[in-house]
Amino acid sequence: MTADYDHLQKTIQALTEGETDGIALMATVACEVHHADDRFDWTGFYRVTEPQLLKIGPYQGGHGCLVIPFSRGVCGAAARTGEVQLVPDVEAFEGHIACASSTRSELVLPVRNGSGEVIAVFDIDSDQTDAFRETDAQALSGILASVFGRL
């Protein structure tokens, strides 16, 4: 099963309509995205809780890292640069943090509020190498912007 992003967008919009609590929004998005695609082994948020620091937020899957500095890993790179990180093979990413030994590829997207500030990153791990495409990044970026851009 691969994600039907049009359906996913509509479902998430319906479930989150009128909600302004960031944690509630993150929990809903993580759950819906995680169950939308067999490639998604771990799906969740790392929240910016202080300057240059991410802490785990709502997620689906096994345990994640609790704290990630902006200076480390794929999630840190997305937070630090504000750019999507599409990593086909985590073994080839210098400084990758192995929160789960099953992770083979990763897609991490910055999450911005209505003011354009990065408030979190959305991390999707796969137990398959080269699991993600630019189309995944574009569709998920649009979903994140529509949900979190209202905060």
Q: How far is CA 150 from CA 60, 119, 143, in A?
A: 24, 12, 12
pTM assigned to the model: 0.95
Query: What number is the average pLDDT over the span 78-102?
Result: 88
β 42-50/53-60 pair status: antiparallel
| Spatial contact of 64 and 99, defined as CB atoms under 8 Å apart | yes
- Structure confidence at residue 117 as a pLDDT band (50, 70, 90): very high
The whole-angstrom separation of Cα 89 and Cα 129 is 6
- Structure confidence at residue 94 as a pLDDT band (50, 70, 90): confident
User: pLDDT per residue over 13-56, tens digit each?
Assistant: 999 999 999 999 999 999 999 999 999 999 999 999 999 999 99
pLDDT at residue 112, rounded to an integer: 98
pLDDT at residue 98 above 90? Answer: no
Q: Which residues of 115-140 are buried (b: 16+ CB within 10 A; e: fewer)?
A: eeebbbbbbbbbeeeebbeeebbebb
Which domains are present in the chain? 5-148 (3.30.450.40)
| Spatial contact of 109 and 78, defined as CB atoms under 8 Å apart | yes
- Structure confidence at residue 67 as a pLDDT band (50, 70, 90): very high
